[in-house]
Chains A and B, each alone.
Chain A
Amino acid sequence: MLVDSPTEPSAETAPAPPRRRAVRAAGLVLSLAVLVLVALASIAVGAKELSLEQVWHGLFQDSGTYGDVVVGERLSRTVLGLLVGAALGLAGAVLQALTRNPLADPGLLGINAGASAAVVTAITFFGVTSLNGYVWFAFAGAAVVGVLVFLLGGSRGATPVRLALAGTAISAALYGYLQAVMITDEAALGTMRFWTVGSLASATSDIIWQVLPFLVAGTVLALALARPLNAMAMGDDTARALGAHLNRTRALSMAAATVLCGAATAACGPIVFVGLMVPHVVRSFTGPDLRWILPYATVLSPVLLLGADVVGRMVARPAELQVGIVTAILGGPVFIFLVRRRRTAQL
Chain B
Amino acid sequence: MKVPRTQAEPAQAAPTPAAPTSAASASAAPTPGTAAPAAPARAFRGRTVRAVGGLSVRVDVRAFTVVVLLLVAALAASVVLIGTGDFPISAGDVLKTLFGTGSASQEFIVEQLRLPRVLVGLLVGAALGVGGALFQTISRNPLGSPDVLGLGQGSTAGALVMIVLFSGSPEQVTVGALVGGLVTGLAIYLLAWKRGVHGYRLVLVGIGVSAIVTAVNGYLITKADLVDATRAIVWMTGSLNGRDWEQVWPLLWLCAVLVPLVLGNARALRMLEMGDDVAYALGVRVERTRLLLMVAAVLLTASATAAAGPVGFVALTAPQLARRLTRSPGPNLVPSMCMGATLLVVADWASQKVFGADQVPVGVVTGVLGGVYLLWLLVTERKAGRI
Contact surface of A with B, Cβ cutoff 8 Å = 1-8, 101-103, 108, 152-154, 159, 161-162, 164-166, 168-177, 179-180, 182-184, 186, 189-190, 193-194, 196-197, 272-273, 276-277, 280, 321-322, 324-329, 331-333, 335-336, 339-340, 343-344, 346
Contacts and interface: CB of A to CB of B under 8 A. Distances in A.
Given A176-B365, A180-B360, A183-B361, A4 B16 contact: yes
7 contacts: A103-B207, A162-B387, A169-B371, A169-B378, A189-B226, A189-B230, A193-B229
Given A161-B16, A193-B222, A339-B208, A176 B140 contact: no
Given A175-B312, A189-B226, A329-B215, A2 B200 contact: yes
Contacts of B219: 197, 321-322, 325
A-B pairs, top 7 by smallest CB distance, nearest first, are: A173-B371, A176-B367, A169-B374, A172-B371, A328-B215, A332-B212, A176-B368
B209 A1 contact: no
Contacts of B313: 172
B374 A165 contact: yes
A108 B141 CA distance: 14
B324 interface: no
Nearest to A335: B208
Report whether over half of chain B's contact residues are helix, strand or loop; otherwise say mixed. helix
A197 B223 CA distance: 12
Given A190-B226, A339-B208, A153 B378 contact: yes
Contacts of A332: 208-209, 211-212, 215
A332 B234 CA distance: 27
Contact of B378 (A1, A108, A166, A331): A166
Contacts of B17: 161, 165
A109 to B, nearest CB: 12
Nearest to A328: B215
A184 B174 CA distance: 23
Contacts of A159: 15, 387
A108 B144 CA distance: 12
A281 to B, nearest CB: 12
A308 B51 CA distance: 66
Nearest to A160: B15
B15 A172 contact: no
A183 B218 contact: no
Contact of B16 (A3, A103, A272, A326): A3
A170 B371 contact: yes
B120 interface: no
Contact of B140 (A1, A190, A197, A322): A1
A165 B371 contact: no
A208 B368 CA distance: 34
A332 B184 CA distance: 14
A219 B67 CA distance: 51
B352 interface: no
Contacts of A272: 211, 214
B211 A1 contact: no
B367 A173 contact: yes
Contacts of B365: 176
B234 to A, nearest CB: 6
Interface string B183-217: 00000000110100001110111011101101110
A153 B378 CA distance: 7
A273 B2 contact: no
A165 B218 contact: no
B12 A6 contact: yes
Contacts of B240: none
B296 to A, nearest CB: 22
B237 A174 contact: no
Contacts of A280: 204
A164 B236 CA distance: 24
A234 B222 CA distance: 45
Contacts of B201: 339-340, 344
Contact of A1 (B16, B371, B374): B16
A269 to B, nearest CB: 10
Contacts of A183: 230, 233-234, 237, 360-361, 364
Given A1-B19, A3-B16, A325-B218, 17 more contacts: A3-B143, A5-B12, A8-B2, A102-B203, A173-B368, A175-B312, A175-B367, A177-B368, A183-B230, A183-B364, A186-B230, A193-B221, A273-B215, A321-B219, A322-B219, A332-B209, A336-B209
